[in-house]
Amino acid sequence: MVANTKNLKMAVTAGVQILIIVSMFPVFAERKEDFTQQTFLREPKDKMVILGEDILLPCRVQNKVGMLQWTRDGFGLGSDRELIGFPRYTMVGNDEEGDYSLQVINAQLVDDAEFQCQVGAAEGVTGIRSTTAVLTVLVPPEPPIIVQGDYLWTTTGMTVELTCEARGGRPPAELAWVDGKGDVVETNTDYKTHKLTDGKRSNAILTWKFTPKREDHLKSFTCRSENSALKQPALASITVNVKYAPKLDLLAHSTRILENSNVQFTCKVDANPPEVSFKWYRNDEQILGNNRTVFVLNRLTRENNRDAISCEVSNTIGTTKATHTINVQYGPMFTRKLENVEADLGDRVTLSCDVDSNPKSNIIWTSEHSTKVLGTGPVLVIPKVTPETSGVFECRATVSGFPQVSEKVMIFLKGPPITTAKKTQFGKQGDTVEVECMITSVPKPSRVVWTRNSQILDIDNSRGYEIIKQPLENGMRNLLMIHKAQSEDFGLYNCSVWNEYGHDSVLIQLKRQESIPTLIIIAGSIGGIVFVASVTAVTIMCVRKRSPMKIRKFQSRNKGKDSDTSARDYELKVQVRSTSSVSNENDPGWNITNDVSRAREANDLYKFPAEYSDSVFTPVLETPASNGYVPYVDYTKEYTPPSVQQLARLQCSSQYLEEIDPRFHAGYANPYLRNSHSTLPSPHGVYLNNRGQFFSNTFPQKHYITADPNSAQVQTSTVATHV
């Protein structure tokens, strides 16, 4: 009913306008030549306005005569400037300037229409119309919404559809999905719009289908809405909680695993949900009793190289298994013994050297004929075997950080056998006797024959013969064993050898070995015992002579008695004090402070008393007047034994025996046993012996029996005594 009333009003208004215009045409026609034609100086143009904002549509007329009005979608808004009935519309400007612009305040969606400025006809002037201006009202859409909400639970491998809507936009909102990395999603999206009932606004919908991954867990996805009426995009976000099976990182704690070392493995897990269980495998065999994140292998060997260690982890979503292959590093080792090669002259020979190591070995070949490297790698080819290219070859394998290993192999030239042996060999009658024959033969000998006195020995009879063959690299050691050898078994033997290239033999004389007499053995044993005892005695004497206590005792004995020699038998008569011949320290006649010694050159060591020529101590012979007594002579000026320190310097050796201090000689301190002292050193001073050693004849004072130094003359009435 309301719609019909509105349409009726619009129709009536349009009819009235048409009648006015039609009635004006005759007048304008009659006065055409009397008035200047009215024109537009400025006409309205198409414009856009955001909902709620103001807009101005310009209209300026020159020589305006007729009535002016604005129309909206062909409906006149009125001719007065206030445009009563349309409170948001106003014609602004003034008549003098001819400005009749339409101002729209607080634009609404109803203002989204076509506007035209019209001037009616007058007498002699025709009516005019401006260009139609389209006013577009922009409407911002509502904030976007995500149909699934703000939080989404999902699982890896499942397809998820996210839907974003932005409603009521004019024009429709432009939507886009932005992933967790900030990148706009351009695939697997679907964009749709739906107009609302007003025919102006629209709803926009953007759908995105994707399969979440573990990396998308707890990431936010954003829906972005843009529109001409929006100054900045509107956003909506959703957080995705992705459940996923465990992700594993199996680590070996040792970067370099050596043989006989231990290694620890750690299984790092990332899972949602985080409740997990562990299983460990070694070469696909489960290791029972280990459900922890750590697994330890002890004392790995080279056999464990390339073993597969696996960690299996499970949660409610799934099971994941990670495998680590062990790389055990070890030094080189030969896996097969090198075999000697037998070759004919000129043959081509290939030598092979199989080495196991990790990392791979560096292999070189050398020979006994040269220090140069003949080749590298596990195989060495000798194109042509000659005497110079045969012999010993060596394969050497090296790995950095490990000891080098090497092995030798021989290339033998085939040829006739060669026999060698000791021409004469011995054995004892009654014992088992060995007759040795060394055989060099490549190839191996096909026949070996022993003969004695040109007769082949029958090994199978009961004579007690036996042959023992001991293989060698290039032949054999052949032994003829004669058990309980008899006298007739000694003689000339022949060792003959054959191979496919020839024959050789050698003669061996087997002789009887005589037993060593028992008496010689006993004598040798006794001699050895005596020799050992002698060496022991000499050693003990040397040790004793080096002892300071022994030297001190030896010194005291020489002070307390006269010297005597084997060359002459003298009895010295020395005048002492008449009271006694026994020393008395309390008697003033004994001097304990005068301790002077003499030294003598080493060339006087073994002189007999008669060899001395000291004329100072001329012997005083007995006379009847003296009645067997001689005057007292102070011999202390001539002899004082050396100190213990001086004696200790002398070493116990054969040279020491040649350098005995002459003061120890029996004739040194006895004037009756020597002729002269011209060869003796002066009483005081430092002397050099024949070994280049210095010594002094002045020693620390000791308590010795000495004469009173105050006695200046010989006493006549004294008692003779034997000292």
DSSP codes of every residue in 285-337 = EEETT--SSEEEE-S--GGGTT-EEEEEEE-SS-EEEEEEE--EEEEEEESSP
pLDDT, residue 539, reads 84
Three-state SS across 511-525? EECCCCCHHHHHHHH
Low-confidence ranges of the chain (pLDDT < 50): 1-9, 11-34, 550-551, 553-633, 635-639, 644-723
* Strands 502-512 and 424-427, sheet pairing: parallel
pTM of the model: 0.50
Task: Report pLDDT for 291.
Answer: 82
Which of 244, 275, 274, 276 minimizes the C-alpha distance to 154?
244
Structure tokens at 29: 């026609």
* pLDDT recorded at residue 136: 95
Distance CA(70)–CA(92), nearest Å, equals: 12
Of the candidates 536, 549, 518, 505, the residue with the CA atom closest to the CA atom of residue 647: 549
The type of residue at 124 is G
- Paired tokens of 406: 């090497």
Instruction: Walk me through the domains of the chain, giving residue ranges and CATH numbers.
Output: 2-138 (2.60.40.10), 145-242 (2.60.40.10), 244-329 (2.60.40.10), 331-413 (2.60.40.10), 418-512 (2.60.40.10), 530-723 (no CATH)
Per-residue pLDDT at 292: 87
Round to whole Å and give the CA distance between 391 and 404: 22
Position 518 scores a pLDDT of: 55
Structure tokens at 654: 């054969």
Helix-then-strand count for the chain, H and E: 5, 48
Residues in the chain: 723
The whole-number pLDDT of residue 461 equals 59
Task: Give the type of residue at 269.
Answer: V
Res 697: pLDDT = 42
Residue with token string 């009635």: 23
Token look-up 């490549």 returns: 442
Residues pairing with 153 in the sheet:
241
Q: Cα torsion for 528, 532, 537, 542, to the nearest 10°?
A: 130
Residues 300/325, Cβ–Cβ less than 8 Å: no
Q: How many CA atoms lie within 13 A of 699 on its CB side?
A: 20
Encoded tokens for 672: 């009756």
Q: Yes or no: say if 447 and 462 are a contact pair by the CB < 8 Å rule.
A: no
Distance of alpha carbon 475 from alpha carbon 467, whole angstroms: 15
> Secondary structure of 216-244 in the HEC alphabet?
HCCEEEEEEEECCCCCCCEEEEEEEEEEE
The predicted structure's pLDDT at residue 517: 58
Q: How far apart are the first and last CA of the chain?
A: 182
Give me the sheet containing 447-452, strands edge to edge: 424-427, 502-512, 491-499, 447-452, 455-456
- At residue 301, the pLDDT reads 93
Token pair recorded at residue 544? 């004793």
What pLDDT does 210 receive? Answer: 93
Tokens representing 427? Answer: 């054995």
* Rounded distance between C-alpha atoms, residue 442 and residue 497, angstroms: 12
